[in-house]
């Protein structure tokens, strides 16, 4: 039965969709069967990042409303046989998501895959709440800036209060993923340091993804960065994060560009 993982944050533009695609692809490359689910109804970007926008026939709302079967809406990745996408609708709004409908879809996905990764929309409205509702674990994506970290703190509170696990007196397993990190700017005080972010949020660190043009390039060509350029610094960061999600003990580093021999090593316990 699948582990349901929500990739979430309070603020938009921090890299949730990029992270969903990258982690999903990395897990699939490691031998896991993975479904990535786009909950951003009305916008729908996960299919673009994965290069599947022309292959969308049915979507999450169609499955919820019974217009099609789940198997008809799932799109198999053209590069990895064990990676599948369930796209969001671009023509409906978030009110089309129903609690019962989402619960049934997640239950079906649990039976078919090892991992179900839910790409949450930004904010704390209906789509985001339903994306996290059935989560066993959460990756909280944040940039090292005050507004992003503050919004992530709000999301942590919701994960502890508004999920199925919370209602049963259990806790959603939480991991922090810091994206768009620039060590030079952090050293100049132009962004928060990793230690600052960890002190504010008090969530185990899953990984640090450095600022890189490779992320934008991968999105533009429709490929998860872990497939587009596996040797790039962000790809290596996501692969390390994936291994930590699977329970491996991986030293916490900030992967750097190939011209640098080593990234900075942090004496922090991995998530």
Q: In the chain, what are the domain boundaries?
A: 3-265
Cα angle: 7, vertex 10, 13; to 5 degrees: 75
How far, in Å, CA of 160 to CA of 155, rounded? 9
Tell me if 212 sits within 8 A of 232, measured CB to CB. Answer: yes
Q: What is the pLDDT of residue 253?
A: 85
How far, in Å, CA of 210 to CA of 215, rounded? 10
Q: What is the CATH number of domain 3-265?
A: 3.40.50.300
Tens of each residue's pLDDT in the chain, 271 residues: 899 999 999 888 999 999 999 999 999 999 999 999 999 998 889 999 999 999 999 999 999 999 999 999 999 999 999 999 999 998 887 778 999 999 999 999 999 999 999 999 988 888 899 999 999 999 999 999 999 999 999 999 999 999 999 999 999 999 999 999 998 999 999 999 999 999 999 999 999 999 999 999 999 999 999 999 999 999 999 999 999 999 999 999 887 655 443 445 555 444 5
How far, in Å, CA of 159 to CA of 246, rounded? 21
């Amino acid at each position: 039965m699948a582990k349901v993982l929500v990739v979430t944050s309070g603020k938009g533009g921090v890299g949730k969709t990029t992270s969903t695609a990258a982690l999903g692809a990395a897990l699939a490359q490691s031998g896991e069967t993975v479904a990535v689910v786009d909950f951003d109804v009305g916008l729908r970007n996960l299919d673009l990042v994965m290069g599947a926008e022309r292959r969308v026939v049915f979507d999450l709302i169609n499955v919820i409303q019974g217009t099609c079967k789940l198997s008809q809406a799932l799109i198999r990745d053209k590069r990895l046989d064990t990676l599948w996408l369930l796209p969001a609708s671009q023509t409906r709004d978030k009110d089309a998501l129903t609690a019962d409908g989402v619960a049934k879809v997640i239950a079906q996905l649990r039976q078919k895959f090892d991992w179900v990764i839910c790409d949450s929309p930004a904010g704390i409205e209906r789509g985001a709440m339903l994306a996290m509702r059935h989560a066993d674990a959460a990756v909280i994506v944040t940039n090292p800036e005050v507004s992003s970290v503050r919004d992530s703190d709000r999301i942590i509170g919701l994960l502890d209060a508004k999920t199925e696990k919370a209602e049963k007196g259990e806790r959603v397993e939480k991991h922090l993923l810091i994206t768009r990190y620039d060590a030079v700017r952090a050293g100049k005080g132009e962004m928060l340091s990793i230690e600052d972010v960890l002190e504010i949020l008090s969530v185990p660190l899953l990984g640090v993804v450095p600022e890189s043009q490779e992320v934008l390039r991968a999105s533009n060509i429709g490929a998860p960065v872990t497939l587009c350029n596996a040797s790039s610094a962000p790809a290596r960061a996501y692969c390390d994060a994936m291994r930590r999600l699977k329970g491996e003990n991986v030293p916490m580093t900030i992967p750097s560009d190939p011209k640098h021999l080593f990234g900075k090593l942090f004496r922090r316990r991995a998530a």
